[in-house]
């Protein structure tokens, strides 16, 4: 459950009046990036807003990008909710295990100096 007043961040694919209205009706702040349409480029304010949203979204996108590179998980066919959920969990575990050695070394570096 998303609490009222929370901000939802999403990429340009979710930019629609329908999504904006749904968030507003639930008192959730809109963090969906703006999307340019044909013959109507984004304003300077919209570009700045998109950059601010991207600063918090890059962490998630970096994770998904790594999963695509490392595990070839570009497309997931949903053969049922439980199967898809299990696949995502296994990928998350594999991602964390792959990053663990570097995270461990990085955590030791300040104490080694």
pLDDT digits (tens, 9 = 90+) for 16-26: 999 999 999 99
- The number of C-alpha atoms within 13 Å of 35 and in the hemisphere containing its C-beta is 12
What is the average pLDDT value for the chain, to the nearest integer?
Answer: 86
C-beta neighbour count of 46 within 10 angstroms: 14
Res. 99: pLDDT tops 80 = yes
Q: What's the rounded mean pLDDT across residues 95-113?
A: 82
pLDDT value, residue 1: 80
User: pTM above 0.95?
Assistant: no
Most confident of 9-13, 22-26, 64-68, 88-92: 22-26
CA-CA-CA-CA dihedral for 94, 98, 100, 106, to nearest 10: -150
Res. 36: pLDDT tops 90 = yes
The model's confidence at residue 72, banded by pLDDT at 50, 70 and 90, is confident
pLDDT value, residue 78: 61
């Amino acid at each position: 459950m998303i609490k009222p007043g929370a901000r939802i961040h999403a990429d340009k694919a979710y930019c629609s009046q329908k999504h904006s209205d749904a968030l507003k009706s639930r008192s959730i702040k809109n963090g969906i990036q703006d999307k340019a349409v044909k013959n109507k480029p984004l304003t300077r304010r919209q570009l700045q807003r998109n950059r601010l949203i991207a600063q918090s979204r890059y962490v998630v996108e970096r994770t998904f990008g790594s999963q695509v590179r490392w595990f070839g998980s570009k497309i997931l066919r949903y053969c049922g909710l439980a199967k898809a959920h299990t696949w995502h969990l296994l990928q998350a575990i594999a991602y964390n295990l792959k990053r663990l050695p570097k995270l461990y070394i990085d955590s030791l570096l300040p104490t080694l100096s």
